[in-house]
């Protein structure tokens, strides 16, 4: 009769619970309709469970073994359900972590009871009928029967039967669950964790039949609702590390910025989940609390449209270097991949968790200048695998391969996807010039053009699109490494104001040099006048880096010269701003053909 659990058996019971949830991942995704029908509850819980299996360690003492599980749970937690679960496990483990040796049945039951308020504390607005309800009801039940149970097997078996009954009740608790005739996915995940935990305590045997090739996947259930019913667009998450972190203080700071707020953690690690319209504001505040170890942003609106409201049979994807108005991207359901910016040892997502407007505040303050990088191969494989579930024809237009490794990463990832016809095209451009090509590709998609035609046209048009960039100062190009320090010093002495462009191979070049902004502006103007006279300009755009007055001047000048207004004028992407610098303005144009 087991009335105690050894350090090793307790640790392995947690591992068995994690494996049981991994086995149920796809089923949990299929029934996920709350709080958002995005079909990822199983994936989110699987992320945490896989991290527990990979990162936690069986130590010599119960305290250290449980601490490693708690830390791993916070690192791997994702989504509303994942972070609530991580907080519950942290509460459960904190209650037991004073113990170094075997855990008694009384200590175990007390830890279940203590974990519940810990989990509730993490949630800004708890909703009953979900995972949190099952956690509370399980705690209440084991406390109620503790005087009448024999051992661990007895309490777990009886409470498992009770949990199954309570899980089925969740269908009638929330209208969205009743309408879809499903139980709450998060609650079901918790039920399976306890099931796996119980099986190992009873038998000492570990079921290894789980998905150990953890992939990002999602099967979203049918949902006839309107996205407009959702309050916020971006599901935003972060992991903060530091010393003496206070989850309550972070929760207070996050509260005004969105909903579905969950803050879980301990003194050294805190996980944050929130739905918001401005992810950049979330991370701007979080940097005051500690080091931002991890960032994640999911565009729930785009995900919903991908499944329920597709406008076209072909999906167009580009990267965040392409400068296009957000309204155009949204109206035409273009998928934009954020590139990475490393700043203060944290990785930010271009145009999502850091915007050019916010970035300008840091440019002159940072001791170590930020750097940029392409998305990871795994990130691209996951994305293409996901979108190819819904689109069988995909066109991807990337920033110039000579300027970034983005093209190669996406090209290699696309070769591994067999479910869709994916065309990855090197735009040989960036910023507004890349944006103009994206617009042209989208117009061809909407006109019903074949993929071969779109690909051939883009390869032809990239030789007829150009961007001319008037740089106000070389300081930022020197700091970003785009020009050498020697060149920067010489340029500063000479008051050099270069015009930057891109050659026919996609390589950045100095198009012209001026000794003043007036001089460089005249050189750009002379070139545009030549193109207008030679063949004409089909369309053009003005982009700038915190230089609205210069941009307005360009608008007036080129509206007169070209005979029509620009398609758009906008601030450039954070990465382009980082390299070109404050005060930069550019004209991008597509020559008539």
Alpha helices by DSSP H, listed for 174-268, are 175-180, 185-203, 247-254
- The residue ranges of the chain whose pLDDT is under 50 are 209-224, 484-486, 488-490, 493
Q: What is the model's pTM?
A: 0.76
Q: Which helix (H) or strand (E) holds 291?
A: strand 291-299
Query: Cα 443 from chain centroid?
Result: 28
In this structure, how many other beta carbons lie within 10 angstroms of the beta carbon of residue 350? 25
Domain 4-203 has what CATH class?
mainly alpha
Q: Distance between CA atoms of 570 and 556, rounded to whole angstroms?
A: 15
Bridge partners of residue 541, in order along the sequence: 588
Q: Distance between CA atoms of 301 and 233, rounded to whole angstroms?
A: 6
Question: Which pLDDT value is given to residue 439?
Answer: 98
The b-or-e profile of 417-431 (16+ CB within 10 A means b, else e) is: beebbbbbbbbbbbb
Cis check: omega of the bond before 359, within 30 degrees of 0: no
Per-residue 3-state assignment (H helix, E strand, C coil) for 151-168: CHHHHHHHHHHHHHHHHH
Q: What is the pLDDT of residues 231-255, one digit of tens each?
A: 789 999 999 999 999 988 999 999 9
Q: Distance between CA atoms of 526 and 533, rounded to whole angstroms?
A: 11
Q: Judge whether 210 and 19 are in contact, CB under 8 Å.
A: yes
Please classify residue 240 by burial: count the beta carbons closer than 10 Å to its beta carbon, then call 0-12 exposed, 13-18 middle and 19+ buried: buried
Q: What is the pLDDT of residues 522-561, one digit of tens each?
A: 999 999 999 999 999 999 999 999 999 999 999 999 999 9
The b-or-e profile of 114-132 (16+ CB within 10 A means b, else e) is: ebbebbbebbeeebebbbb
Question: Which pLDDT value is given to residue 332?
Answer: 97
The pairing of beta strand 371-373 with beta strand 393-398: unpaired
Per-residue 3-state assignment (H helix, E strand, C coil) for 81-106: HHHHHHHHHHHHHHHHCCCCCCEEHH
Give phi and psi for 277, each to the nearest 5.
Answer: -100, -10
Q: Distance between CA atoms of 371 and 409, rounded to whole angstroms?
A: 18
Q: Judge whether 142 and 159 are in contact, CB under 8 Å.
A: yes
Domain ranges of the chain: 4-203, 231-309, 310-351+373-463, 465-591
Q: Which helix (H) or strand (E) holds 549?
A: helix 548-562
CA-to-CA dists, residue 521 to 25, 494, 509, 564, 567, angstroms: 58, 17, 17, 19, 20
Bridge partners of residue 241, in order along the sequence: 269, 291
Q: Distance between CA atoms of 555 and 571, rounded to whole angstroms?
A: 14
Q: Distance between CA atoms of 50 and 423, rounded to whole angstroms?
A: 33
Please classify residue 202 by burial: count the beta carbons closer than 10 Å to its beta carbon, then call 0-12 exposed, 13-18 middle and 19+ buried: middle
Question: Cα(first)–Cα(last) distance of the chain, in Å?
Answer: 85
CA pseudo-torsion sign 559, 564, 570, 571: negative
Q: Distance between CA atoms of 224 and 322, rounded to whole angstroms?
A: 33
Q: Judge whether 470 and 586 are in contact, CB under 8 Å.
A: yes
Q: Distance between CA atoms of 378 and 199, rounded to whole angstroms?
A: 34
Longest dimension (CA), the chain: 94
Please classify residue 411 by burial: count the beta carbons closer than 10 Å to its beta carbon, then call 0-12 exposed, 13-18 middle and 19+ buried: middle
Q: Distance between CA atoms of 495 and 118, rounded to whole angstroms?
A: 61
Give phi and psi for 491, each to the nearest 5.
Answer: -65, -40
Query: Cα 50 from chain centroid?
Result: 19
CA pseudo-torsion sign 436, 442, 447, 449: positive
* CATH, domain range 465-591: 3.30.1180.10
Question: Which pLDDT value is given to residue 14?
Answer: 93
Q: Judge whether 102 and 66 are in contact, CB under 8 Å.
A: no
Q: Distance between CA atoms of 174 and 127, rounded to whole angstroms?
A: 9
In this structure, how many other beta carbons lie within 10 angstroms of the beta carbon of residue 146? 16
Q: Distance between CA atoms of 448 and 313, rounded to whole angstroms?
A: 9
Question: Which pLDDT value is given to residue 36?
Answer: 66
In this structure, how many other beta carbons lie within 10 angstroms of the beta carbon of residue 447? 9
Architecture of the CATH domain 231-309: 2-Layer Sandwich (3.30)
Question: Which pLDDT value is given to residue 178?
Answer: 84
Domain 310-351+373-463 has what CATH class?
alpha beta
User: What is the DSSP track for 255-282?
Assistant: GGG-EEEEEEE-SSEEEEEEEES-HHHH
């Amino acid at each position: 009769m087991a009335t105690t659990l050894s350090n090793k058996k307790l640790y392995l019971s947690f591992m068995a619970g994690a494996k049981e949830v991994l086995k149920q991942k796809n089923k949990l995704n299929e029934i996920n309709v709350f709080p958002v029908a995005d079909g990822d509850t199983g994936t989110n819980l699987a992320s945490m469970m896989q991290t527990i299996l990979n990162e936690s360690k069986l130590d010599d003492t119960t305290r250290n073994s449980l601490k490693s599980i708690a830390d791993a749970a916070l690192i791997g937690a994702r989504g509303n359900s994942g972070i609530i679960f991580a907080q519950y496990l942290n509460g459960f483990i904190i209650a037991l972590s004073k113990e170094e040796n075997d855990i008694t049945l009384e200590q175990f039951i007390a830890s279940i009871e203590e974990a519940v308020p810990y989990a509730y504390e993490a949630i800004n607005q708890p909703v009953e009928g979900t995972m949190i309800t099952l956690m509370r009801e399980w705690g209440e039940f084991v406390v109620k029967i503790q005087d009448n149970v024999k051992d661990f097997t007895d309490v777990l078996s009886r409470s498992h039967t009770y949990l199954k009954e309570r899980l089925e009740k969740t269908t009638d608790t929330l209208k969205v669950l009743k309408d879809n005739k499903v139980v709450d996915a998060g609650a079901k995940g918790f039920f399976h964790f306890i099931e796996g935990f119980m099986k190992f305590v009873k038998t000492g045997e570990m079921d290894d039949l789980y998905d150990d090739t953890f992939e990002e996947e999602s099967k979203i259930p049918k949902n006839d609702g309107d996205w407009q019913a959702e309050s916020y667009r971006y599901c935003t998450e972060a992991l903060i590390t530091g010393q003496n972190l206070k989850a309550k203080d972070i929760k207070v700071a996050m509260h005004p910025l969105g909903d579905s707020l969950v803050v879980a953690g301990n003194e050294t690690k805190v996980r944050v989940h929130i739905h918001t319209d401005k992810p950049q504001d979330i991370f701007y505040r979080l940097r005051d609390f500690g080091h931002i170890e991890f960032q994640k942003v999911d565009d729930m609106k785009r995900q919903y449209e991908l499944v329920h409201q597709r406008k076209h049979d072909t999906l167009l994807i580009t990267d965040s270097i392409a400068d296009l108005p957000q309204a155009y991207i949204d109206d035409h359901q273009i998928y934009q991949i954020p590139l990475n910016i490393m700043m203060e040892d944290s990785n930010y997502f271009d145009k999502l968790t850091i915007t050019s407007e916010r970035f300008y505040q840091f440019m002159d303050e940072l001791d170590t200048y930020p750097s940029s990088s392409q998305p990871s191969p795994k990130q691209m494989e996951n994305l293409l695998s996901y979108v190819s579930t819904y689109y069988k024809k995909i066109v991807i237009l990337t920033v110039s391969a000579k300027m970034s490794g983005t093209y190669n990463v996406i090209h290699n990832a696309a070769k591994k996807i067999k479910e869709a016809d994916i065309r990855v095209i090197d735009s040989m451009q960036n910023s507004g010039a890349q944006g103009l090509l994206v617009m042209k590709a989208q117009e061809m998609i909407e006109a019903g053009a074949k993929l071969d035609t779109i690909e051939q046209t883009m390869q032809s048009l990239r030789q007829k699109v150009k961007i001319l960039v008037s740089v106000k100062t070389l300081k930022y190009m020197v700091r970003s490494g785009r020009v050498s320090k020697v060149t920067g010093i010489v340029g500063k002495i000479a008051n050099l104001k270069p015009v930057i462009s891109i050659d026919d191979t996609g390589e950045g070049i100095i198009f012209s040099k001026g000794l003043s902004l007036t001089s460089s502006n005249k050189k750009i103007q002379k070139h545009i006048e030549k193109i207008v006279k030679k063949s004409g300009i089909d369309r053009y755009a003005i982009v700038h880096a915190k230089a609205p007055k210069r941009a307005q001047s360009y608008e007036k000048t080129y509206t007169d010269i070209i005979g029509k207004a620009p398609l758009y004028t906008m601030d450039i992407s954070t990465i382009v701003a980082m390299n070109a610098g404050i005060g930069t303005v550019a004209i991008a144009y597509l020559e008539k053909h």
